Chains A and B, each alone.
Chain A
Amino acid sequence: MFTKILIVEDDVNLAKALSISLAEEGFKVSIAYDGLEGLSLAEKHQPALILCDINMPKMDGLTMLAELRKNDWAKNIEVIMLTNYSDQQNISQALKHKAFNYLVKSDWNLEQIVEQVKKKLVI
Chain B
Amino acid sequence: MIEHSFTIFFSLFSLFFIIILGLIVIRNGRQLINRLFTLLNLILIIWIFGSLMLLTAQNEAQIIFWDLFIYAGIIFWAAIQYHFSLAVTHFNFKRKIALSIAYLLSFFFLIISRTDFFASGVFYYRYGSHTQAKLGHHLFMIFFAIYVALFFYILLKKYYQEKNKIERSKTFYYILGFSVLNFIGGTAFLPAYSIPIYPIFLASPLIFSLIITYSIVYLGLMNIKLIMRRYSVYLLSFVSLFIPAYLILYYIYLFYFQYFFPIFIAIYISSLISFDPLKKKYYYLANKYFFSSLYDTKNLIYKLNNDLRSSLEIKKIFHSVTKVLTPAFHFKSIAIIKFNERQKEWSLLYNDSFPKLDLKIKHINNNDINKIFSNNQPVNSKTIQENSEVTSMFKKHLKSLRIELLIPIRINKDKLNYLILFGPKESGDPYHKKDLQILKIVANEIGIAIENALLYQSVKRFNIKLQKEVARATTKLEIQNKTLVKLDEVKDEFISIVSHQLRTPLTGIRWFTEILIKNKDKNLNHKQIEMLQHIGASNMSLIKLVNDLLDVSHIETGHKFIINKNNFLVNELINEVLKENIYLIKKKKLMIDNKIKKDLVIYADRDKIKQVWQNLISNATKYTDDQKTIQIYSRVNNKNQIVFYLKDEGVGIPQKEQAKLFNKFFRANNASLKHAEGTGLGLHIARELIRAHQGEMFFKSKENRGSSFYFSLPIIKK
- Does A110 reach chain B (CB closer than 8 Å)? yes
- Does B530 reach chain A (CB closer than 8 Å)? no
Q: Scan residues 520-544 of chain B and give those whose CB is less than 8 A from a CB of chain A.
A: 520, 543
Contact B510 A109 (CB under 8 A): yes
- Does A115 reach chain B (CB closer than 8 Å)? no
Contact A88 B500 (CB under 8 A): no
* Chain B positions within 8 Å of A85 at CB level: 496, 499-500
Contact B503 A106 (CB under 8 A): yes
- Does A11 reach chain B (CB closer than 8 Å)? yes
* Chain A positions within 8 Å of B554 at CB level: 86
Contact B511 A109 (CB under 8 A): yes
Minimal Cβ-Cβ distance residue in A for B502: A84
* Chain B positions within 8 Å of A104 at CB level: 503
Shortest Cβ distance from residue A22 to the other chain B in the assembled complex, whole angstroms: 12
* Chain A positions within 8 Å of B550 at CB level: 86
Given A55-B500, A85-B499, CB of A13 within 8 Å of CB of B506: no
Contact B503 A84 (CB under 8 A): yes
Q: Mark B203-226, 1 if CB is under 8 A from A, else 0.
A: 000000000000000000000000
Q: Mark A75-102, 1 if CB is under 8 A from B, else 0.
A: 0000000001111100100000000000
Given A24-B520, A84-B503, A85-B500, CB of A13 within 8 Å of CB of B543: no
Once bound together, how far apart are the Cα atoms of A17 and B514, in whole Å? 9
- Does B512 reach chain A (CB closer than 8 Å)? yes
* Chain B positions within 8 Å of A11 at CB level: 504, 508
Contact A18 B511 (CB under 8 A): yes
Contact A20 B504 (CB under 8 A): no
Once bound together, how far apart are the Cα atoms of A105 and B505, in whole Å? 11
Contact B562 A88 (CB under 8 A): yes
Contact A17 B562 (CB under 8 A): no
Contact B508 A17 (CB under 8 A): yes
Minimal Cβ-Cβ distance residue in A for B512: A17
From the candidates A24, A86, A110, name the one contacting B511 in the complex (CB within 8 A). Answer: A110
Contact B508 A14 (CB under 8 A): yes
Once bound together, how far apart are the Cα atoms of A87 and B505, in whole Å? 18
Q: Mostly helix, strand, loop or mixed at chain A's interface?
A: helix
Contact A110 B503 (CB under 8 A): no
Contact A110 B506 (CB under 8 A): no
Contact A84 B508 (CB under 8 A): no
Given A24-B520, A84-B504, A85-B500, CB of A106 within 8 Å of CB of B543: yes
Once bound together, how far apart are the Cα atoms of A21 and B508, in whole Å? 13
- Does A67 reach chain B (CB closer than 8 Å)? no
From the candidates B504, B514, B543, B546, name the one contacting A14 in the complex (CB within 8 A). Answer: B504
Q: Mark B536-566, 1 if CB is under 8 A from A, else 0.
A: 0000000100110010001000000010000
Shortest Cβ distance from residue A99 to the other chain B in the assembled complex, whole angstroms: 13
- Does A43 reach chain B (CB closer than 8 Å)? no
Once bound together, how far apart are the Cα atoms of A91 and B508, in whole Å? 22
Contact A106 B507 (CB under 8 A): yes
* Chain B positions within 8 Å of A109 at CB level: 510-511, 514
Contact B506 A106 (CB under 8 A): yes
Once bound together, how far apart are the Cα atoms of A103 and B511, in whole Å? 14
Name the residue among A11, A20, A105 with the largest chain B CB count within 10 angstroms: A105
Contact B499 A86 (CB under 8 A): yes
Once bound together, how far apart are the Cα atoms of A85 and B507, in whole Å? 13
Contact B511 A17 (CB under 8 A): yes
* Chain A positions within 8 Å of B499 at CB level: 84-87
* Chain A positions within 8 Å of B512 at CB level: 13, 17
Given A24-B520, A86-B499, A86-B550, CB of A111 within 8 Å of CB of B504: no
Q: Mark A6-29, 1 if CB is under 8 A from B, else 0.
A: 000001011001101100100000
Name the residue among A86, A104, A109 with the largest chain B CB count within 10 angstroms: A86
Shortest Cβ distance from residue B510 to the other chain A in the assembled complex, whole angstroms: 7
Once bound together, how far apart are the Cα atoms of A58 and B528, in whole Å? 41
Name the residue among A18, A21, A109 with the largest chain B CB count within 10 angstroms: A109
Once bound together, how far apart are the Cα atoms of A77 and B114, in whole Å? 155
Once bound together, how far apart are the Cα atoms of A14 and B496, in whole Å? 19
Shortest Cβ distance from residue A72 to the other chain B in the assembled complex, whole angstroms: 31
Contact B514 A105 (CB under 8 A): no
Once bound together, how far apart are the Cα atoms of A96 and B500, in whole Å? 23
Given contacts A55-B500, A106-B543, 9 further A-B contacts (CB under 8 A): A13-B505, A84-B499, A84-B503, A86-B550, A88-B562, A91-B562, A106-B504, A106-B506, A109-B514
Chosen A-B contacts, 19 in total, with CB atoms closer than 8 Å, are A11-B504, A11-B508, A13-B512, A55-B500, A84-B500, A84-B503, A84-B504, A85-B500, A86-B547, A86-B554, A87-B499, A91-B562, A105-B504, A105-B507, A106-B546, A106-B547, A110-B511, A110-B514, A111-B514
Residue numbers of B with Cβ under 8 A of A are 496, 499-500, 503-508, 510-512, 514-515, 520, 543, 546-547, 550, 554, 562
Residue numbers of A with Cβ under 8 A of B are 11, 13-14, 17-18, 20-21, 24, 55, 84-88, 91, 104-107, 109-111
The 6 tightest CB contacts between A and B, nearest first, are A17-B511, A84-B503, A13-B508, A106-B503, A105-B507, A106-B507
